[in-house]
Amino acid sequence: MQRLFLVRHGPTHAKGMIGWTDLPADLSDTDALSRLDRYLPANAKIVSSDLIRTIETANAITSRRERFDHAPELREMHFGDWENRQFSEVSEEAPEHIRAFYEDPGHIAPPNGESWHDLQARVSPKVDHLLYQAESDLIVVCHFGVVLSQLQRATSLSAYDTFAQRIDNLSVTEVLIEDGIWRAGAINHCP
């Protein structure tokens, strides 16, 4: 059995839809980082997206783990023209569009951004490749949308139900993979 540990990066304190914007993480909670580092398996390989908030978070918990190169495929959802804007602001100018994006996730994308299905199509093949490359447990330090995309694979929940899951900063969501079968372990665990 292989285990996939999806770790959401440290908080950015941004208030808008932050996808590909490269904001640093607030890693001042060193106790939480220490607990996270101790909770994760010492022999697991570790990888992050290429955005600074995941790189810094991964650096804080890498310890003696083997590190793979940063992977741009593991970036957060691309919010396009909605990037760095608050839901209420976008809702004033495009209420039907943003409501459909959240209430019927799938093919609906922000203008010049990507849909839920686009995100999954970008992330899942990279995760599969990394799991094959790791040959052991794998820690992926990533983003809310990336965690959810892999959680949906493990639970077979609808996109809507998956999108509604709570995934806190510095939390761990586990996926157990055996004989090609994915199933969820702990979800949104904060060590």
Range of the domain at 136: 2-74+122-184
Tens of pLDDT, residues 130-157: 999 999 999 999 999 999 999 999 998 9
* Tally of domains within the chain: 1
Tens of pLDDT, residues 58-92: 999 998 899 999 999 999 999 999 999 999 999 99
Q: Is residue 88 part of a domain?
A: no
Report the predicted TM-score, pTM, of the whole model to 2 decimal places: 0.95
Q: Is residue 104 part of a domain?
A: no
Q: Is residue 68 part of a domain?
A: yes
Give the confidence band of 26 by pLDDT, cuts at 50, 70, 90.
very high
Q: Is residue 139 part of a domain?
A: yes
- What mean pLDDT is reported for the chain? 96
- Report the CATH number at residue 14: 3.40.50.1240
Measured between alpha carbons, how far is 13 from 38 in angstroms, rounded to an integer?
Answer: 25
Q: Is residue 109 part of a domain?
A: no
Q: Is residue 189 part of a domain?
A: no
Q: How many residues are present in the chain?
A: 191
Note the pLDDT of residue 69: 97
> Is 125 in a helix, a strand, or coil?
helix
Measured between alpha carbons, how far is 89 from 94 in angstroms, rounded to an integer?
Answer: 9
Tens of pLDDT, residues 2-16: 999 999 999 999 989
Q: Is residue 20 part of a domain?
A: yes
